[in-house]
Amino acid sequence: MNPEVYEKYEIIDAHAHIFPEKIAENATINIGHFYGIPMTGCGVSSKLIESGCKIGVSKYLVCSTATSPHQIRNINSFISTECTIHPEYYGLGTTHADSDDLEGDIAQIKALGLHGVKLHPDFQRFNADSPEAFKIYELMEGELPLMIHCGDNRYDYSSPARIANICKNFPKLKVQAAHMGGYQSWDRAIELLPRKYENLCIDISSSMPFMSPQRAAEIIRMYGVENALFGVDFPMWDHRDELERFLLCGFSEEENRLILSENFKRFYGLNT
Ligand SMILES: [Zn+2]
């Protein structure tokens, strides 16, 4: 891909995973096994930035998931520290539906100045619209955006129907529905989600490798180009490959600008 094709765009990666160095290798291998997909790199900051630099990413929305409640506070501190070291990061905190101190978790995330909360109900093993999860959204609504993993044909924890249920019950909660609203469940996602909820946007990570550029463009247009965020889901994919796939969708320059950075700034209320 010729750099001239993309150098004119500001590029924000709205979906990136990082782990502490000590556990990064194992965590990356585990994700690879979970999805049956070879990872492109190890999920540490140095590798993320190395991959993003190839296409001039200016900002990254980084997250890490607590698979058990006892990890929550440490992971939030880790993300916050990484954001201090890397000014190009916006950080998302984590919590868990089984946490016995959700108020404290959300208070920590706010006190650290993180930009929202990432949940991955499939890894975390709770239903995205369970009464316990709803308690998290109550604490966040109107204040912290939610980025949530969506969909997987093998599990029902984060199905598009559950994501719709969240959007319906919490109209003031901003929801970034990852993977075009339903990883490997795109048919169901487009039945239930596009243009139905004003608080919903999608990121387009971990989707384009599984469909033609025409299909990706079609799905994004269903949601509206103003409601889609570019994201790579590192270490799952490589930045250059994902940008190449995105540019093959054939959006106009203005639409590319929206998806690559402008929508992100509007959704997260940033004026950088
Ligand atoms: Zn993710």
Q: What would the mean pLDDT of 130-159 be, rounded to a whole number?
A: 97
Q: What would the mean pLDDT of 150-157 be, rounded to a whole number?
A: 95
135 inside domain: yes
Domain hosting 207: range is: 21-267
pLDDT at 28: 85
In 3D space, the residue among 215, 160, 154 whose CA is nearest the CA of residue 193 turns out to be 160
CA–centroid distance, 14 to ligand 1, in Å, is 10
CA–centroid distance, 236 to ligand 1, in Å, is 9
pTM of the shown model: 0.96
* Stretch (H or E) spanning 221: helix 213-223
39 inside domain: yes
CA–centroid distance, 87 to ligand 1, in Å, is 21
272 inside domain: no
210 inside domain: yes
Give the domain CATH number at 184.
3.20.20.140
CA–centroid distance, 205 to ligand 1, in Å, is 9
6 inside domain: no
CA–centroid distance, 239 to ligand 1, in Å, is 15
Q: How many domains does the chain have?
A: 1
10 inside domain: no
pLDDT at 272: 58
pLDDT at 81: 97
Are 151 and 181 spatial neighbours (Cβ–Cβ below 8 Å)?
Answer: yes
CA–centroid distance, 120 to ligand 1, in Å, is 7
CA–centroid distance, 142 to ligand 1, in Å, is 22
CA–centroid distance, 97 to ligand 1, in Å, is 17
CA 21 vs CA 25, 32, 170, 224: distances in Å: 8, 17, 36, 38
pLDDT at 252: 98
- Rounded to the nearest 10 degrees, what angle do helices 213-223 and 239-247 cross at? 80
177 inside domain: yes
7 inside domain: no
